Structure formats: structure tokens, C-alpha cells
Amino acid sequence: MNLIQFVLLILAAISIWRLWQKYLGRDISVVEFIGWLLFWLLTAVVVVFPDLASYIASIFGVGRGSDLVLYIGLVLAFYLIFRIYVRLEKYDRDLTVVVRNLARAKAADKGGETEQKNSSATKS
């Protein structure tokens, strides 16, 4: 086993451990846990058996296994960025609605206060 394989296996093990902690703390759902667990287990398998990546790459017509891993990683990164972007846009819309409602409520309260002051001033 090469040094890089050892380091990558340690990183995968740490990631799985942190994933387990997040799952126990109910920070992630079962589906997220299973998805990420499969990802990290597959990563560990490819690290231990790099020829497997080359074999799968040849099935897809890619020259080397490392190229296939790079392509898959790039596609996965863009997908995750897209999901984050969509979620941020939703939060932005939701926050806009909340702020608008708060502003309307505050304006309505000030309108009521002004009417009370005017009625008190006319009575004096």
C-alpha cells in the first residue's frame, strides 16, 4: 500500500466517523446518511483497488481510471453547487417575504400609534 492510499483511507475513515456523528445528532436524514456512506465506501474501495477504476473507465471509454474519478468528481461538484444555489435562492425568497411582512406589521402599528396621538391631542 502506497502512502497516498493510506492517507486517503484515513481521510475516508474520518469522514465516515463524522458522518455517523452527524447522523446520530440528527443533523442529516437517513437518505443523506446512506448516500454519503455509499460515496465514502466507494471511495475507499477505489483507493484500495485502483485497477477497478481503470476497468470501469475502460467500459465507459475513458483512458484511465483517475480520469474517470476526476470526471465523476467534477460532475458531482457541479451538481452540489447547483443544489446549494437553488436552496439559497429559496431562502432569499423566504427571507424577502418575512421582511416584507414585518415591515407591513410595523407600518400598521405606527399607523395605529399616530391615530391614538391625534385623538389624544384633539381631546385636550
Q: Kindly state whether residue 76 falls inside one of the protein's structural domains.
A: yes
Total tally of structural domains belonging to the chain: 2
What confidence category does residue 54 fall into, taking pLDDT thresholds of 50, 70 and 90? very high
pLDDT at position 110 = 84
Per the structure, the complete domain to which residue 89 belongs is given by: 65-108
Same domain assignment for residues 5 and 37: yes
Same domain assignment for residues 8 and 43: yes
Q: Kindly state whether residue 103 falls inside one of the protein's structural domains.
A: yes
Number of other CB atoms surrounding residue 40 within 10 Å: 19
pLDDT at position 121 = 57
Same domain assignment for residues 41 and 72: no
Q: Kindly state whether residue 95 falls inside one of the protein's structural domains.
A: yes
Same domain assignment for residues 38 and 71: no
- Over the stretch 11-27, which tens digit does the pLDDT of each residue have? 999 999 999 999 999 99
The CA-to-CA distance between both ends of the chain, in Å, stands at: 92
Checking if the pLDDT of 111 tops 90, the result is no
Q: Kindly state whether residue 5 falls inside one of the protein's structural domains.
A: yes
What pTM does this model have? 0.69
Q: Where does residue 61 fall: left (phi above 0), alpha (psi -120 to 50 degrees), or beta otherwise? A: left
Query: Any idea of the CA torsion for 40, 44, 50, 54, to the nearest 10 degrees?
Result: -20
Q: Kindly state whether residue 9 falls inside one of the protein's structural domains.
A: yes
Q: Kindly state whether residue 59 falls inside one of the protein's structural domains.
A: no
